[in-house]
A and B are shown apart, each in its own frame.
Chain A
Amino acid sequence: MARYDRAITVFSPDGHLFQVEYALEAVRKGNAAVGVRGTDIVVLGVEKKSTAKLQDSRSVKKIVSLDDHVALVCAGLKADARVLVNKARIECQSYRLTVEDPVTVEYITRYIAGLQQKYTQSGGVRPFGLSTLIVGFDPHLGVPALYQTDPSGAFSAWKANATGRNSNSMREFLEKNYKETSGQETVKLAIRALLEVSYFLSSGCTFEFIFHKLPEHA
């Protein structure tokens, strides 16, 4: 099988794109991230490994906003994340410029997923080594949304999901304990999901959370 992982444009005989699968491996080594959708709130959480003593921890932000109403967290290669986020931010503004409307969460997710797919079907490039969790509210209907993308360019909507390190355990926990919640209950669920896996990690790791509440003017 070693012959089939050089140029990603080549399929292996049993239908795999190995570069994409290796990218997923890189994702599995990234920091744990969780996203939960409530009835009037969306929550994103990510664990931050303890920063080195001399490092300025404020410069390490893992949850980024793409626009006023959309936020994103990645698991995987951080440098790839920066490139992807920059392109997504430009797209958000470009959309506002052409249609005079904020993007919907689904649209920007589709754009990011399209970007990730593009890099799996071009020559001389490798896929982005990251999966993203994207949350936000529909600008007109005020409906909360949570989406996930992966290096293959696939995306789907979720009620709750996890990615990165130990994502399987987190997802199992979420599946067992998920209920339609709102407000603080949703935040608590996300926190508990992260605690579930980081209990085993080295002490001193912190979490970063963001939660969007339904904007009043929706």
Chain B
Amino acid sequence: MKFDTSGLESTASVFGTAGRELVDGFAAAAPPAFELPVTKDFDGFQKEAVQMVKPAKGTTTLAFIFKEGVIVAADSRASMGGYISSQSVKKIIEINPYMLGTMAGGAADCQFWHRNLGIKMHEVQLARLPGEVGSGSCSTGLVLTASWLLDLCDICTYIFSLCRLHELANKRRISVTGASKLLANILFSYRGMGLSVGTMIAGWDETGPGLYYVDSEGGRLKGTRFSVGSGSPYAYGVLDSGYRFDMSIEEAGELGRRAIYHATFRDGASGGVASVYYVGANGWTKLSGDDVSELHYKYYPTVSTEASESDQMVEA
């Protein structure tokens, strides 16, 4: 993929606003788009395409804002229908020192995206930030579920590169609002083309902690608690009932861990390792990565019952 530097151009060109009478060196940045397939029944094709994606969306991810910052947590299972293709998918990915990316989907896609992203970040690691401009730092945790097509991986690479380019051009980190808006605009341009993406962007910027939910319909919501994926109803149950704004970092991390565990317990498409990250004023740190089957015995330890002891006595 040719590295698209249209992110460096004025944002006006994205919306095709006035001022194009001049023959300029910059091509008007058309939004990225697939070539539409030629079929008799496009609606049916779209429906099939979406159905194909659905099994690959098995996941549980969540994020919430509390007093100290943001907690981002996810499972690590990739499944295709009834087949578990991987138990060790990294759904929260460290893109660069202040940005987190999380996702689920086809394992091969994930690996491609991860490698691709690393390469791209290497390419754009042109300059170091000269001293801190703002008082806070921005860590953007991107929770992306169900990256399906390779083109979607390119979108993610593109959006993260856009964030980095923004930082290089403006000498300050992009805000959570800005990063989520960029992603939402890109996903909107792919609307109706069969992408199935539910993302959360979480971070800490100059205005404090921020959390946005962005999906493949192009929708974008600002909020304080989100969970995305097939296991999200279960996660919401634990998260909503245990949530308090003034928790400590450990308590909040434990809440996230417990919510993911309970989702993996009940949802067949979620499992593996429950990773919990914390995003604060100084950036993100990984709090824990626990195998959910071990968490099970931690939360519900097996107790030897009285009945078996009395059985033994009878036999004797």
Interface residues of A (CB under 8 A from B): 87, 90-91, 94-95, 97-101, 104, 106-107, 110-111, 114, 118-119, 121-125, 140-141
Total contacting residues, chain B, CB less than 8 A: 29
Other-chain contact of A94, B17, B22, B166, B177 (Cβ < 8 Å): B17
Q: Is the CB of A118 within 8 A of B22?
A: yes
Counted as pairs of residues, one from A and one from B, with CB atoms less than 8 Å apart, the total is 66
Q: Is the CB of B10 within 8 A of A101?
A: no
Point out the residues of chain B lying under 8 angstroms from A114, CB to CB.
10
Q: Is the CB of B12 within 8 A of A99?
A: no
Point out the residues of chain A lying under 8 angstroms from B172, CB to CB.
104
Any chain A CB within 8 A of the CB of B175?
A: yes
Q: Is the CB of A119 within 8 A of B22?
A: yes
Any chain A CB within 8 A of the CB of B185?
A: yes
**Please, how many angstroms separate the alpha-carbon atoms of A95 and B23 in the complex?**
23
Point out the residues of chain A lying under 8 angstroms from B15, CB to CB.
94, 97
Q: List 15 A-B contacts (CB under 8 A).
A: A90-B12, A90-B17, A90-B18, A91-B11, A94-B17, A98-B181, A100-B178, A101-B175, A101-B178, A106-B170, A110-B169, A118-B24, A122-B22, A124-B23, A141-B134
Other-chain contact of A98, B22, B23, B182 (Cβ < 8 Å): B182
Any chain A CB within 8 A of the CB of B25?
A: yes
**Please, how many angstroms separate the alpha-carbon atoms of A140 and B178 in the complex?**
14
Given A90-B17, A122-B24, A99-B174 contact (CB < 8 Å): yes
Any chain A CB within 8 A of the CB of B19?
A: yes
Q: Is the CB of A91 within 8 A of B134?
A: no
Q: Is the CB of A94 within 8 A of B170?
A: no
**Please, how many angstroms separate the alpha-carbon atoms of A94 and B9 in the complex?**
12
Q: Is the CB of B178 within 8 A of A111?
A: no
Point out the residues of chain B lying under 8 angstroms from A123, CB to CB.
23
Q: Is the CB of B174 within 8 A of A94?
A: no
**Please, how many angstroms separate the alpha-carbon atoms of A14 and B45 in the complex?**
64
Point out the residues of chain A lying under 8 angstroms from B22, CB to CB.
118-119, 122, 125
**Please, how many angstroms separate the alpha-carbon atoms of A107 and B171 in the complex?**
10
Q: Is the CB of A87 within 8 A of B19?
A: yes
Point out the residues of chain B lying under 8 angstroms from A97, CB to CB.
11, 15
Point out the residues of chain B lying under 8 angstroms from A95, CB to CB.
11
Any chain A CB within 8 A of the CB of B150?
A: no
Q: Is the CB of A98 within 8 A of B185?
A: yes
| Smallest CB separation, B184 vs chain A (Å) | 10
Q: Is the CB of B170 within 8 A of A122?
A: no
